[in-house]
Amino acid sequence: MLIQYIPFMILVFIALVFVIASLALARFVGTRHPTPKKVEPYESGMVPIGTTKGRFPIRFYLVAILFILFDVEIVFLYPWAVIMMNNAASRIFLFAELAVFIAVLAVGYIYVWRRGALDWE
């Protein structure tokens, strides 16, 4: 059974070796001559104005995290649909499972909505 994973493990090993070798080669062979011009942020060819350490309001992070949470949850629907399409015997159970999953998502969404995380004021 584990013999099926050997090609995948070889691929992962080769990828890791390639990444580590590339980083090591760049580190040891690459030249580093930091000048003030090279270390300042690139502003599309214009003179930088202000600092690069600007702060974002916490609302941006909250919306981003909520998007990631709900987006990752939606990704789980695709495998469910594939399993339901191939498994005709237990479609009622799979549909009930999806209904519970969507209900949990809806409860989470309503909770976030009522807490005011989606209000942009």
| Model pLDDT for residues 54-112, shown as the tens digit of each residue | 777 777 888 888 888 888 888 888 888 888 888 877 888 888 988 998 898 889 889 88
**Span 114-120, average pLDDT:** 82
Q: What residue has token string 């214009």?
A: 46
52 falls within a domain = yes
| Contact call for residues 69 and 76 (beta carbons, < 8 A) | no
User: What Rg do the C-alpha atoms of the chain give, in angstroms?
Assistant: 25
120 falls within a domain = no
CATH code assigned at 109: 1.20.58
Predicted model pTM: 0.49
Identify which has the larger pLDDT, 88 or 15: 15
77 falls within a domain = yes
117, exposed or middle or buried, with CB in 10 Å at 0-12, 13-18, 19+?
middle
Q: Could you tell me which residues come within 8 angstroms of residue 80 by beta carbon, excluding any fewer than 6 positions away?
A: 94, 97, 98, 101
Tally of domains within the chain: 1
Q: Domain range holding 9?
A: 2-115
Model confidence at 52: pLDDT above 70: no
